[in-house]
Amino acid sequence: MSNELILAIETSCDETSAAVIRGGKEICSNIVSSQIDIHERFGGVVPEIASRKHVESITRIIEQAVQQSGYQATDLDAIAVTEGPGLVGALLVGNVAAKSLAMSLNIPLIATHHIAGHIYASQLEHDLQFPSLAIVVSGGHTELVLLPEEGKFVIIGRTRDDAVGEAYDKVARALKLPYPGGPYIDRLAHEADEVIVMPRAWLEKDSYDFSFSGLKSAVLAQINQHRMKGLELNEAALARGFQESVIDVVVTKALRAAKQYEVKQLVLCGGVAANRGLRAVLQQKCEEKRIPLIIPSPGLCTDNAAMIGAAAHVKYKHEQFAGLDMKADPGLSLESWSIE
């Protein structure tokens, strides 16, 4: 295994994280400082507050990551940072820190894509085989990404409105559950003895795109109807119906794409990949279809810098570095980040 040491920085949303990764696979350290308790009172991430907390935390988090790794800053071979997508103010904090370190240590800077990080988080525990298909499910993204070879990304399907995690949060808010809503909806769905069947949005016959706004509206309609009629709502049954609809559409489309593109494995990644219901159904279906499935550990599904270091190593091997004029790009395309 190669021994390059990459210090990675992730500040795309509401986690301040830094990690030291060796050879693209070994986690020497991975420090994550979450802001969930701060944003919970607002029911979602407040960009300005997130940026300020990154500014307060970033230096301490980087120092902890280097110290915990057992190496010195002078041992580092490169600095990696999330270029995008994400909240522009939050991204800027990480970018300034990364540029300062790269310049002071006189080592390369690697601009990294946040979703590529989620996909390559699997590389920290498993060997990726190509071609593979990544199912990206998070608070801001729901995509089917074909990986024809290392460092190449082709998006074959994406959400046309709400991302899966966003839909979970909105439904949880309507049910007066805490933020973030995903774990609470998942837990409630597993407690249900009954199910309120919800609609599925399949879109066009051959489409791999997703749409969850209609499902969200159907859930809200159920809640409002019960409240107006003064009826007691079986919230667990509704949560189960919502979750089963999401899982049915995501799993069905992913398996159809895996067959069409003859991939060697499926990769489930992103924050919603920690959802027990989704993991269980996808594992069962992949076993039936004899399709290898890899899922990162729950701690590597949520935003963290280790995944950024893993993805950055691909760029390092191809000597594709960024200049100090690199800008934070909240709308950065995954396909454009592919190895040239």
Dihedral, CA of residue 196, residue 201, residue 206 and residue 208, to nearest 10? -100
Residue 180 CB neighbours (<10 A): 22
Pick 129-295's CATH classification: 3.90.25.10, 3.40.50.150, 3.40.50.720, 3.30.420.40: 3.30.420.40
Which candidate, 205, 316, 198, places its Cα nearest to that of 246? 198
Ordered by start, the domain boundaries in the chain are: 5-120+300-337, 129-295
In degrees, to the nearest 5, what angle opens at C-alpha 89 toward C-alphas 87 and 93?
A: 115
DSSP state at residue 160: S
Tokens of 282: 């996808």
Tokens of 97: 């820190």
Tell me if the pTM is above 0.85: yes
Q: Return the HEC string of 13-59.
A: CCEEEEEEEECCCEEEEEEEEECHHHHHHHCCCCHHHHHHHHHHHHH
- Distance CA(330)–CA(299), nearest Å, equals 24
Q: How many residues does the chain have?
A: 340
Strands 15-22, 5-10: parallel, antiparallel or unpaired by DSSP? antiparallel
Alpha carbon distances (Å) from 317 to 6, 7, 56, 79, 110:
12, 15, 33, 14, 11
**Which residue's entry shows tokens 């006189």?**
106
Q: Point out which residues pair with 185 in neighbouring strands.
A: none
In this chain, the answer to whether the domains covering 5-120+300-337 and 129-295 adopt an identical fold is: yes
- Distance CA(19)–CA(32), nearest Å, equals 9
Q: Could you tell me which residues come within 8 angstroms of residue 63 by beta carbon, excluding any fewer than 6 positions away?
A: none
- Distance CA(93)–CA(37), nearest Å, equals 20
Instruction: Evaluate whether 184 touches 176 at the Cβ level (below 8 Å).
Output: no
Return per-residue pLDDT of the chain as tens, 340 residues.
579 999 999 999 989 999 999 999 999 999 999 877 778 777 778 888 989 999 999 999 999 999 999 999 999 999 999 999 999 999 999 999 999 999 999 999 999 999 999 999 999 999 999 999 999 998 889 999 999 999 999 999 999 999 999 999 999 999 999 988 999 999 999 999 999 999 999 999 999 999 999 999 999 999 999 989 999 999 999 999 999 999 999 999 999 999 999 999 999 999 999 999 999 999 999 999 999 999 999 999 999 999 999 999 999 999 999 999 999 999 999 999 999 8
- Distance CA(25)–CA(151), nearest Å, equals 15
Q: Which fold has domain 5-120+300-337?
A: Nucleotidyltransferase; domain 5 (3.30.420)
